[in-house]
Structure 1
Amino acid sequence: MKLNRSTKRRTVLAAAVAIAALTLTACGGTASDAGAAGEIKKLNIIVPANPGGGWDQTGRSMQADLTANKQVGSASVQNIGGAGGTNGLAKLATEKDPNTLMVMGYVMVGSVETNKSASRIEDTTPIARLTEEPLVLVVPASSPYQSIDDLVTDIKTKGKGVAITGGSAGGADHILIGQILKAQGIAADSLNYIGYSGGGESLAALLGNKVQAGISGVGEYAEQVKAGKVRALAVSGPVEAPALPGIKPLKDQGIDVVLTNWRGVVAPGSIDETQTKKLTEMVTKLNESEAWATTLKDNNWDNAFLAGAEFDSFLTEDITKVKTTLTEIGLIK
C-alpha cells in the first residue's frame, strides 16, 4: 500500500475509478446524484495544518459538499498543525479508522524532506489529486515595493534584512521564493523566510508589517488584494490568474519561474483494497458533483483531478522532482 507497491496494486486502484464510472452509467445516473448515502456513515478528515489556510479550506469544503451530496452520513474535520503537515502525517500513520482521509499536497512533499520526517507520504494510500492553483506574491499596501524587481533588488542589497512569509518551510511558498532568488542569481543563504502552518498567521504577520512580503495561494490572498490591504506583485502560474486580472506572471516580468500548488487526499497505508475502492469512488463522485464545481469556482481553484494509479504515478514523480528542487535551491543537502 505504498508508492512502490506492485503493479497489481496499481491495477486495483485504476479499476476502482473505472468500476465507479461503469456502475453509474449502468444505473443511468450521474456521479452527483448516484445513491452513495450510507456507504460511509462517518468520515474522518485530517487537516494537517491550523485553521485558515488552503488545506483547511479544502478539508472543510469536502466536509460540506460530501454531506450536502449525501455521500456520507457525517464528516468531521480534525486540525493537526505544525511541521509543514508532518505532524498530521504522523497521526495518519497510526490511524485505525479506515474511513479517514488526510488533505495534503505539494507543501507536504517538500516538508517531509526539510523536516526529515519519519512518516513518509510513500507509506500512505493515495486516493486523489483534487485541485491546483498558482501562488501570488504580495506586499503590505504601504510597502515601497511597486514591482517584483523592487523586492528582488532589495533582497540583493539587504539579504536577510528582507523577511518573506508564507506556509511551512519546504512548501510551495518557500520553494517559490527560493526559485525566484536562484533565477536572479541570489544565493540561497540570503533568504529570510518565516513559515507558518496556518494561512491566518502569515496574513497577520503581513498585515501587521512584521514582514516585507508574503506568498500564498491566489485563493487565500485575492480578497485582501481586492480590498486594498495588500498589493500583488506577481503570480506564479503560466498565465494571469482570473481572480487577479492584470497581475502579470513572473515569467512575463523577466523571472523564468512557473509553479502551481496542488492539493489532494490520501488514506492510511493500512487500509485494504475494498476500503481503498470505497474512498476512491466517493472522492470521484464528489469531483463530478455540481456542489464541488461551485466550490472550485468560489475558491479560484483549478480542477486537477487524478485518482488511483494515475495519482500514484504522479506522486512518485513529484516526490523525486521536489527533492531535486530543494537540493538545487539549498533547502536540503
Structure 2
Amino acid sequence: MRFRKALLPLAVIASLASGAAHAQVNVMLPANPGGGWDGTGRQAFQALNDAGIFTEGVNFTNTGGAGGTIGLAEFQGAQTGKADALAVFGAITVGSIILNSSPINLADFRPVARLTAEYLVIAVAENSPYTTLEELVAGLKADTGANAIGGGSAGGVDHIALALLAQAADIPVVDLNYIPQASGAETVTGVVNGTLAAGISGISEFQQFADQGRIRILGVTAAERKEGLDVPTFKEAGYDVEVANWRGILGAPGMPDDNYAVWVDRFAQLNDSPAWTTVLKTQGWDQFFLPGAEFGTFIADENARIGAILKDAGLAQ
C-alpha cells in the first residue's frame, strides 16, 4: 500500500514536468541585449503575458553577430523540429545572409508573424547648405563621392534605403560614398562635426537629436507623413522610395504543423490586443502585422528585392 501511494506522486510529478517542458517557449534573440531585436522579443512576450494569451515560461537566448545569422544558425542547429522554439529577426538579416554568403536559408524556417516596422529618416547638420531632400540629392548628383553619407552596417536597411534613393534619382549606386557607423549616435556626431554630409537611421534614433537642434531631418521613408515629425516623405519629394526596418518572428525548421498554427494564432491575437498597442506607442514602433504564409511570401519577396539592390551597389555577386 505504501508502495502504491509513493508511485502516485511520482507519476503526477512526471506528468507535470512533461507539461511544463512543453509549455515553456525557447526564444532566440540573435543580437546582444538592449538592441531592437532584443526589445522586440522581450516586449512581445511580456505583452502576450499581459494580455493572457501566453502566460507560461519563456527562455530567452541572446547570440549576436553578423546581422543575426550567427544566432539563427545556432537556433537552427539546436531547435530544428522542436514544438515551442521561436526566433526574432528582421530586414537586416536578409541583407546579412546575402553579404556574408551565409548558409542560412530563411525558407527553411517557419514564418510566424511580421510584427513591427520602424521607418528611416535622412538628416543633415543644422548649418548644412542642404535644407531639403531635393537639395541633398542635387548635391549627390553634382559630386557623389564628395558627399559622404553615414548609416548602419553595409548592406543593412539604412544602406538599402540610400541605394533606393539613388536609384530613384538616377544616381549610380556604386558611386555612393556610404560609410557604416557603429550606432545612430555616432552617425549624428559625424553629421554635426561635418565628416558626414548626411546620415540615415531609424526615426527613434534621430528624433531626439533633431528635437535638440543638432540635426535637421529632411525626409522619411514612410508612405505617409509621421505624426510628430513635420517632414515630407521621400515620395512627396519626388522619389518613389518606401522602406522600413521590419522585425518579426520565425518558428524553428520542422516545427509541427499544429503547434505552428497555435503560434500564428497567438501572435494574431497579440496584434489586436490593447497590451500590444501600448507597447507600440511606448516604443515608437509602427504596427506592421502579417501572419504565417503571408509573411513567408513577404520574406521571399524581400530576399529577391534586397539581393537585387545589393548587387546594384556592388556589394553582392
TM over 0.5: yes
Q: Secondary structure at the match of 1:251?
A: coil
Change (3 A) 1:138 1:57: farther
- Give the drift of 1:291: 0.7
Change (3 A) 1:285 1:114: same
Q: Give the aligned partner of residue 303 of structure 1.
A: 287
Gaps of 5+ in 1: 1-37
Deviation sequence 1:203-240 (CA, Å, 0-9, x none): 22123226443222223433333333432110012221
Change (3 A) 1:53 1:159: farther
Q: Give the aligned partner of residue 187 of structure 2.
A: 206
Q: Give the aligned partner of residue 247 of structure 1.
A: 231
Q: Give the aligned partner of residue 257 of structure 2.
A: 273
Q: Give the aligned partner of residue 327 of structure 1.
A: 311
Confirm or deny: 8 A CA contact 2:126 2:216 kept in the other structure. yes
Q: Give the aligned partner of residue 172 of structure 2.
A: 187
- Give the drift of 1:265: 0.8
Matched letter for residue 222 of structure 1:
Q
Matched letter for residue 299 of structure 1:
Q
Residues 1:86 and 2:82 are matched in the alignment? no
Matched letter for residue 87 of structure 1:
I
Q: Give the aligned partner of residue 21 of structure 1.
A: none
Q: Give the aligned partner of residue 103 of structure 1.
A: 88
- Give the drift of 1:48: 2.4
Q: Give the aligned partner of residue 109 of structure 2.
A: 124
- Give the drift of 1:193: 2.5
Q: Secondary structure at the match of 2:225?
A: coil
Change (3 A) 1:280 1:256: closer
Matched letter for residue 90 of structure 1:
A
Instruction: Kindly tell me the number of residue pairs found equivalent between the two proteins.
Output: 292
> Identity over the aligned pairs, expressed in percent?
36
Confirm or deny: 8 A CA contact 1:89 1:120 kept in the other structure. no
Alignment of 1:161-200 (within 5 A): 161-195=146-180
Alignment of 1:68-87 (within 5 A): 68-70=50-52, 71-87=54-70
Confirm or deny: 8 A CA contact 1:205 1:211 kept in the other structure. no
Q: Give the aligned partner of residue 240 of structure 2.
A: 256
Instruction: Provide TM-score, normalisation by structure 2.
Output: 0.80
Whole-angstrom distance in 2 between the partners of 1:212 and 1:63: 40
Matched letter for residue 83 of structure 1:
A
Q: Secondary structure at the match of 2:57?
A: strand
Deviation sequence 1:116-173 (CA, Å, 0-9, x none): 1111111111111112342111234454532223433443455444333333332321
Residues 1:44 and 2:26 are matched in the alignment? yes
Instruction: Provide TM-score, normalisation by structure 1.
Output: 0.76
1:54 alignment partner, one of 25, 36, 47: 36
Whole-angstrom distance in 2 between the partners of 1:77 and 1:229: 37
Confirm or deny: 8 A CA contact 1:182 1:329 kept in the other structure. no
- Give the drift of 1:51: 4.4
Matched letter for residue 292 of structure 1:
W
Deviates more, 1:235-244 or 1:49-58: 49-58
Q: Give the aligned partner of residue 35 of structure 1.
A: none
Confirm or deny: 8 A CA contact 1:134 1:236 kept in the other structure. yes
Residues 1:226 and 2:211 are matched in the alignment? yes
Change (3 A) 1:299 1:46: same
- Give the drift of 1:92: 2.1
Q: Give the aligned partner of residue 274 of structure 2.
A: 290
Change (3 A) 1:273 1:202: same
Deviates more, 1:310-319 or 1:235-244: 310-319
Deviates more, 1:235-244 or 1:300-309: 300-309
Q: Secondary structure at the match of 2:231?
A: coil
Q: Which has the larger radius of gyration?
A: 2
Confirm or deny: 8 A CA contact 1:111 1:168 kept in the other structure. no
Deviation sequence 1:234-293 (CA, Å, 0-9, x none): 00122211141x200112223232223322110211322233123223322222221101
- Give the drift of 1:62: 1.2
Q: Secondary structure at the match of 1:262?
A: strand
